[in-house]
Structure 1
């Protein structure tokens, strides 16, 4: 079984996923707009939906992050109630990723030593996605 985060953006999913592809050194395997769906009928969706991302899939070291733009026509309440957590055995790589995600965002906890890991930090990136980055754990398969 895999647990895969699915993030919803207001209208900047494409920009965010391209940023994550670079920052996380992943591979964007799919990014499809609503207009690219088979039998898309713009009359059945709110105005502006056609250009929004219906589905995106980013693969990073065999792990999957999926996302889309809010296309429901309902107000977008932002991202809340979750954090995407990344764990790296190498502190330098964890720091590189943390710094990339934090650029233009808001650092909630600076990247530094903790009692459970050689380094840990929390940030909300410029797209509103909350991240926690662990690095240098004694057991890299454990989040803490």
Structure 2
């Protein structure tokens, strides 16, 4: 990169042992998605052997990075920042809503609101929050 250039801004998710499980769920739920790369902790490294030292994956073209933190924290994900996506049809938004909310928490049930014909806000089983909206046509 030349001076003044920077790489794209990439969401970075920090997990406590569930990074690979979360990536597998997300890439199975969203079309055009894949795990790009996984680097694992080996023996005598600071993280649990076999856990994710660093990984990248894409969800419908958006690249994410994630890790299994080898440092214990008192914090986790918060709804103050969520992942947003819009859908073209009701069947697809309902499918994704069901998959991501299984084992998680519903913050706003999938339904009609003054600002949207169909919207839902959930926290998945890993604590990552998602805002799902049907495109108005």
TM-score range, shorter-chain basis?
0.7 to 0.9
The residue aligned with 2:30 is: 24
Alignment coverage as a number of residue pairs: 129
Structure 1 length as normaliser, TM-score? 0.77
Encode CA deviations 1:80-113: one digit per residue, 9 max, x unaligned. 2411112222232122111110011111111112
Structure 1 residues 60, 75: CA separation in 2 closer, same or farther (over 3 Å shift)? closer
Match of 1:77 among 64, 69, 75: 75
Map of 1:142 onto structure 2? none
Question: Per-residue deviation at 1:11?
Answer: 0.8
Q: What's the secondary structure of 2:17's corresponding residue?
A: coil
Normalized per residue, the structure richer in strand is 2
Instruction: Name structure 2 gaps, 5 residues minimum.
Output: 1-6
Number of the residue aligned with 1:63? 62
User: Deviating runs (4+, > 4 A) in structure 1?
Assistant: none
Aligned counterpart, 1:111: 110
Q: Distance in 1 between matches of 2:8 and 2:133?
A: 20
1:6 aligns with 2:36: no
Which 5+ residue runs of structure 1 have no aligned equivalent? 36-40, 139-144
Alpha carbons 1:120, 1:133 under 8 Å: kept: yes
Q: Following the alignment from structure 2 to structure 1, what is the Cα–Cα distance between the partners of residues 10 and 98?
A: 23
Distance in 1 (alpha carbons) for counterparts of 2:91 and 2:100? 14
Q: Which structure's residues are more often helix, by fraction?
A: 1
CA distance in 1, matches of 2:99, 2:74: 25
